[in-house]
Each structure stands twice: as C-alpha cells, then as structure tokens.
Chain A
C-alpha cells in the first residue's frame, strides 16, 4: 500500500464501521457549565466506534522536508477501543464532546466552553519508528484510561490577551504499558496512574514566540510575590512502576494486569505550582556550526565561537519555569492538598496486598535568591537524520562552542566533549552497528536548566493491605538536591534488544550540571571566574541531607535555622556512548536480579568535582544572618572511565529463596524493595576522536599511563581516579589513580522499613549490596557484556569478566606511594538511615 505523506497530519484514517452521532439542540449542561455560561444552545458530539474500535494504519510527521536533514517520525498501528480495569479489551470506544458559547455571568465577554469526556479505553501504538529506518522500532505503548478535558476561555480560543482561562486535563485510573519487542517479551507498567494538569486561572494563548500558558502571578522579574489563590496549576503524576515477564506465566494475551506483576517503585508528584510559565515553540535542534553574535568575552578577550541555539531546524522546543507551593503557601490558601509533594518509595504489587511504605518530600521552597524554583528555558525535541547535531558541550566552561572556539584556549580548565548523533557501534551483531554516521535518532537537548529549590519536610506514609494510609510521621528534614546549569544532548536510536535486534533503545547521552564561581575575581585579570567551575553556595548543585528546623520550634524559614550537609557545589558529567536500554527478561520465576531495566554502555565516563561540606540554608528572605555560612571539609574529584552496566530489578516475594534478605542471614525481611545490580569495568580509556565512531575527546586524558618511570605526559594521565584534598590546598591531594579492573554491585536493595517491622517503632531507609572485585565479579560482568563489543572499536571483543582490580598509583600530590591490587574480594555493606527517637 502506498502511503501519502503529509507533514504533521494524519496520512490515512481507517475507521471500521464507525458511528458518529451529532446532536444539535438543547444540551444538558452540568453545574460548572451552567454557572460559567448563560444558557444557550450548544453542540454535543457523541462518538461511538464500531465493535472493534478505531484503528489508524500510520501517521507520519516529516521534519525539515526536502532538505538534507529531512527526518520522519512514524507512528504505526494506532488503535482505540474499550478496555476494562485489568486490561481485557472490550468493544466500542466512546467519547463525548460538548461545545458551548456564551458569556460569563459577570460580563458580556464571549466565553467558550469545551468539555471532552473519554470513557475508559485503550489507546495503543504498535510501533514508533523513524521514517527512514522502518525496519527498527522504539517499541510498543498502550494507555488504558478514562479522561476528561475542560477548557473555558473568553475572547476567543487561544487568545493570549486573556488571563482568566481555565484548563483541566485529567487521566484517571490509568495504566501505561511499554514493551520493546513482540509479546511475550517483558514490559514495564505504570500502574494506578493518575495524571492531572489544572490551570485554575491564567493565560493560554498564542504569542509571537509560541503557545504560552501561564498563571497570572507570572509577571515578577524578582521572584514570586504573594501566592495568588486564584491562579495555580494543580497537578498530579502518580504511579506505581511495575515489571512483568509474561513468558514466565505463559500468559497468552498482552498487556494484562493479572497479579503476576512485580513492584519496582512508586513515583508521585502531587499538589500545586505557582508563578508558572510554559511556552511551546517551533524549532528543534540547532546547527552546531552557527556562531552566536555578539561574541562572549572572558578576561577581556573573545572566547571564540559559541553555538547559536536560535538557529534551529524544524522540531519542537519549550521553556518551563515555576515555583512550588510551600507548606506556608498551602496554609495561607487553606488547602493542605495544594502543598507540592513528591512521593517516592515502594510500589504495591498488583495483587490483593497493597501495603507499602512511601516517603514524601514536602514543603518545597525556592533557593532564594534564584528567580524560580524550576527554570528550564530550552528543552528541544527533534527527529534527526544522521549527524544533524547541535555540537558538543564544554566541560568546565559556561558557554558551549567548538574546540576551535569557546571550548578551546583561554586561561582556565575546559574540555570539549561531543558524542555525535548518527553512530551506533559496539554490538557483537553487526546488524545493529551503523558506523557510517547514518543512524536515525530522536533527540532531546537541554540548555541552562536550573532546579534551585529544595524540600524541608520528610513524611513517612505507611499503607495497609487495602492501600489506605494508616501511619504517618513528619520530620523537619530535607533531602536536598539542587541542579545548577544543566545541559544535555541525548540521541535515542531504535534497536539493540537481544531478543530482537530491531527493537529496543540505544542512547547516546551527554549530560552535565556545573557549578560556576559566583563572581569574577578582579585580581586574576586573564580569566573571568564566573565562567568556570567553582564554589557557589547560592547557585550550585548540592546533594545534602538537611536539618530544616535547628531550634525545634516547628517553624521553617527562620534565619540560621536550617543546615545541610553532603556533596555541595558539585559539577558532574555523564557520557554514555551507545548505551543499550533493555527491558530484560528474568529466567526463573520469583528470582529477578537477572531481569528489569538494564542499561549497558561499553564506553562510559562519569566525572565529578565536588566538596564534602555543608552550610546554613537561606531563610525565607534569602538571607543568612551573621557569621560563616558554609563548611568545607574536603574536595573530592572522581573520574570514572570504562564500561558500565546498571540494572534495576523488581522485588522478589518475601520469604522466597531469591529474596536477598531473610531471618537467617540479614535478620530481617525485605518487602517491596527496589533491587539493583551494577557491573563496572574501570579503564584508562584513552578514547579520542581518532579511535572512536562519532566521539570527540571522550577521555579526560588520552595519553595513556604505562607504569612507573614513564614520560611526563604519560604520568599526567590518571585514568579512572578518586581524589581527596583539603579545600584550601587543592593541589595536594590523595589520589587513587589509574584504577582498572572489574567491580560489581550485586544483590542491591533499597528498602523502606515499616515502623513496626523491626520492633523498634522506627521507620528506616535501608540500602545494602555486595560489592565484588576482580575475579569474584566475573559472573555478573559476563552477564553484563553479553552481546556487546568495545565501543571504541565495534569489532573488538570485550575482555571476559573477572579482570583483577588494581589501583596502579596511590599518589600524595605528585609523589607516588605505590600500588594496590585486589585479585578478588566481596564486600557486603549496608547503610541505614532512621530518625532519632
């Protein structure tokens, strides 16, 4: 069948025996409708499909047509039909849309009311493909849900001058399924999902920049003022992440909830945000060849070319910014449910027992003086053809440009890193590899994102077998993570699943969050420190545990009343080339560590530059009071280069032989835990543009260390290392460097323990695993490298698992102290956090 391509539109609609009912005349309005509009005739569209639902063969979206960048995103095999709560398909799909035009009772302004209701049904996408690569598929998705949409707006649809638009979109009792290859391959389930976005009053209109949505308090350039009770976004995204391998139970039908699903974790965003603006704009990836004008200067001199993110090709991008509604805001609003909360923790299984423990991070506040708690000005999405990339990122520097421009020269330390789109390598089956740069991808780019807010309250929520909360406890703690200056390039390719190499996901990831010094130091004229990494308490990436009410008076936000401790003013970078994302089957019933979500990259780098320390958190006005505000205990630098496999696995049943906890061994049981296991091969990769496909300057140093007595250049290559230094003596560090060999984390458990489980009336967070080094790590490493070759050279096989673990240089400053070798070891460790009695 020849298919007609129409940019961004339906290409072919196939509606079998669809019945379309139109009713034109008096309409039964609900209370909301009656209150909002003066009663006039409306329009009711009631749609009921035929008994087998609706199906669409294919939808193509063509980007950059008739150019070298032309790329097509293809949704293939869309269907819509009724479904019950367990995923059993029913008959006709049904939806109803009501349209009414009138005027608000208080004025004569014309008002449009739109109401859409969707009966519970399944919307399924058989395959998402790249149009130029139709043999491969990103996978299959299904959404089971009932939903509704409400829109009430005055002055015409999408009128940006109107600031009293009401918008509600909601999915209830939803289930999302994702599977990479054909049934009965394992799939992931977002179960018991609720999703809601309700703009209580604000702007929804088209402006010169794009489709803008904003609350009415989004006008301050100096941060949020008093909360406007009439202009909030009430939102929810709440689900249990489950895993299921239907092959184990020989389930004949796909996408069913049968009770055989196993819990992984719960995720929930609940509450409200304020001071919000979300703008959808045209334009995807920018060309990494166009410089920005005018030029950026550093120390008085131009830094050279900086990529111009405004020169975009066709695609989609958006900006988002908001503040979270704090506990005090919610109290002022008189509605505790408006406090923004993030719930994490255990998922319940899909069977009768819904008991689980979650913890909830609440009372979020902006890290004053940041303007917004969440501020991501540029997130772009695009379908790419081959090497159509935005250019790389600059590790160590605020602006991104090529080595011949902003990321070259200058006085400070910086490194250009770029994993280009278009290349897939490192699979043993050559059919997956595309080393000529023609691989088609989906791209996600982030620039200058900042998450500068933190939670000041932790609450434990225990649920009984019926899923009802039956025990809670609040603590004025914060588990703080802030991310400053986030930049990322992610390219997602179809294929790579070992069960069917044409299905699955392969990702090239370049991600960094950098903390830059707060200001230029006039004493050093050659560079502007605020463009380079440094210590910055007010605008840094921090990972801390915090006491948010030191004086215990129950009030947060007082001066010098909160302090955090952890890794502060961090800069980190993640590079992963050709990382396979595999929804991996497990082989034996009730034993799950070999299955789950499996990430594997033969060419990975994780760089971290941070300070172990802490400090006083800002008060409600952004002030710190009198006295020192930060503690710096140790500078820590970490550089990992090598192979990484990270796997998250669902929980095994309590009492089962595969459960890592038992009365006999650990003295306690683990229930509904999140399992994890990692395999890491430490290397001195020395990857440079010369020996990899589409990767520029991957390693921190590409010279290569070759033992004692080498050249100065060789001795300057520390490979994979971990270093500690005094904050005021950064050059004298203790450095475990040139680390090579295999290390695995096995039988990993993240478990939240109920308060009455251990007999001490205290809830706990417990993390444990067994680390294996050297020969002991062989079995898990061999499991990890199955199907993969070297990322640097796809025809080179990876060495077998069990490589001895060596630290080839222990350094104190420049002095070499010696070597450490661990031929084999296993180390069980556990960390338990609990509140003081």
Chain B
C-alpha cells in the first residue's frame, strides 16, 4: 500500500477529520517524492554502430548513409567501411612448422586467416533502466522482501572462497561473518525496467509496448579472408581484414516487420552486489 493510499484510508477512518474541507493544492516536489517513494535515477542508453540515428522511424537504425567507398561511407559495395574482423589465436601467418615467419625455419609459410564481418551494422536502444541503491534485506525500497520465509534460500556456501573464508567484507582485515543478517545488510545496486503492457494486432501486424529494449542488427555478409604475402604484423591493405574476395557464407538480420528496430519487453529486477 502506498503512502498516499494509507493516508487517504486514514483520513476516511478518522472521525472528525474534515475530508475535502480544505482547498486542494498542487503537490510540491517533496510531496511528490513521498508519493512515489523514489529518488533513484533512470539511465537511457543508445548506441548506433555504423547505423544512423533518425527521427524518421523507417530510417532510424538503418545503415549509415554517406558516399560508398569513403572512409565513413555507407555499408554497401565491395570492401565498404562497415567491416569488423577477428583472427583467432593460431590462425596468424606462420610457417607450417608453427614457427614465426622470418626465422630460421625453411618450412612453407601459410597466410593468416580472418573472419570478416561485412556490410554490418547494429543499433540498440534502452530508454529507461531504473537504478536504485538498496540493502538486500530492506523492505523500504525495491529490495527483496524482509519476510523471513525468503531467508531459507540463503546458502552460506556461495559466499565462501575455496579455502572456506567468508568473502563478505566490511573493509576490515578480519572481514565479516557470512550470516543471514549480514547478507540482508549487504548494499546492492538494484536495476529494473518500467513495467510493459504489450500487445500484438494480428490483423495489422503491429505490436506495441515492446520498448524496454530495441534492437536492429544486420550482418550482410560474413567470410574467411586471407592475408596476401605482403601483409605484415603492422597491417595494411594487403591483410585479410582488408580483403573482400571470398564472398559470404552467412548473413543475419534482426528487425521488426514494420520498422528497423525490433522491440523487446523486459520484466523483473536485478540486484548487483559483490565482495
């Protein structure tokens, strides 16, 4: 029951209190805080990797514009700017006897291999992540209920290191005992999303309410490319990540049928604590 509900109930129950007799007034900030009972922060994050931000829904989260071939150009065409390359350890250029090129070995050299993600972009939006400070066993905020029933879940073994020492700390050299009371007193960062009401209209194909997370992702092509002989450790155009000769073996695209961003509704709360 919220503070306001309690207060209203109290007002009706108390005889002689002239409910409604005084003039209504706007709540000031402090009263508003008391109503909602929160002073936490909402964090909003947006990230567009090789994707454009636009107020136009059909463009927001699509590949960056620009001139093909320019350093910050768009994501189409051969060897365009929207690439990211990975080389797993052991796939570097080397001699067949697994020694470094340039050494005494006369074994045949093989070129380095790169996994190149091409024509790729993604965008992620998380408009409202609620952050609050909390004690794990406190019932005043969003923390776990202080009801004793939950305390049976407490497993001391999760808070001991391999030699059996309690990892909880109050900063002192002697540490803190791993007890239920101390776990309840552990500070934690509480995170949650605003509650979502979601729906999907099967006739129009339009969904709503899936807005805790929005994701747009496209990997146009993915291929293994090879260094040419001129490629050295210091890089350059001859290296595999700058090649575009092997086409593609995989593509991936995540979007909504109506817009570039696919919506995701997230529920629940998370408590971050540690030792």
Residues of A within 8 A of B (CB): 473-477, 518-519, 521, 535, 537-538, 545-547, 549-552, 554, 560, 562-565, 613-616, 624-633, 663-667, 706-709, 727-728, 768, 772, 774-776, 778-779, 802, 804, 806, 815-837
Contact = CB atoms under 8 A, between A and B. Distances in A.
Contact of B82 (A627, A768, A825, A835): A825
Given A624-B170, A664-B56, A818-B88, 13 more contacts: A473-B29, A477-B41, A545-B41, A562-B133, A565-B133, A627-B181, A628-B186, A708-B100, A778-B71, A817-B89, A824-B81, A825-B49, A833-B42
B42 A827 contact: no
Given A546-B133, A629-B170, A663-B55, A820 B189 contact: no
Given A629-B187, A821-B241, A824-B71, A830 B45 contact: yes
A633 B168 CA distance: 12
Given A823-B241, A824-B72, A550 B55 contact: no
B138 A550 contact: yes
> A-B pairs with the 10 shortest C-beta distances?
A627-B185, A547-B133, A775-B71, A832-B44, A563-B133, A776-B72, A707-B233, A824-B81, A667-B55, A828-B48
B132 interface: yes
A832 B42 CA distance: 8
Nearest to B235: A804
Contacts of A629: 169-171, 187
Contacts of A476: 39
Contacts of A521: 173
Contacts of B235: 804, 806, 821
Contacts of A821: 84-87, 114, 235, 239, 241
A835 B44 CA distance: 11
A53 B51 CA distance: 61
B274 A831 contact: no
Interface in B133-192: 133-135, 138, 140-141, 161, 167-171, 173, 176, 181-182, 184-189
10 contacts: A475-B39, A518-B171, A549-B39, A550-B133, A550-B134, A552-B141, A707-B233, A821-B87, A828-B46, A830-B44
A727 B275 CA distance: 7
Contact of A707 (B37, B92, B239, B242): B92
A831 B45 CA distance: 5
A551 B135 CA distance: 10
A259 to B, nearest CB: 31
A615 B272 CA distance: 11
A820 B83 CA distance: 11
B99 interface: yes
Contacts of A802: 71
Contacts, number: 229
Given A626-B181, A826-B72, A836 B135 contact: no
A831 B44 CA distance: 6
A629 B186 CA distance: 7
Contacts of B187: 563, 614-616, 628-631
B40 A823 contact: no
A834 B170 contact: no
B50 interface: yes
Contact of B88 (A624, A663, A817): A817
A631 B114 CA distance: 40
Nearest to A778: B71
A827 B49 contact: yes
Interface centre among B29, B171, B242 (most CB of A within 10 A): B171
A779 to B, nearest CB: 8
B38 interface: yes
A832 B52 CA distance: 18
A823 B242 contact: yes
B64 interface: yes
Contacts of B42: 832-836
Contacts of B64: 826
A825 B84 contact: yes
B191 to A, nearest CB: 10
B140 A550 contact: yes
A628 B51 CA distance: 44
B46 A633 contact: no
Contacts of B92: 707-708, 819
Contacts of A665: 53-55
Q: Which of A549, A632, A824 has the most CB of B within 10 A?
A: A824
A835 B53 CA distance: 25
A833 B45 CA distance: 9
Contacts of B50: 825-827
A719 to B, nearest CB: 13
A123 to B, nearest CB: 44
Contacts of B72: 772, 775-776, 824, 826
Interface string B212-236: 0000000000000000000001010
Given A550-B140, A819-B86, A826-B64, A835 B39 contact: yes
B275 A519 contact: no
| Candidate in A477, A519, A550, A817 with the most chain B CB atoms within 10 angstroms | A550
B78 to A, nearest CB: 13
Nearest to B166: A628
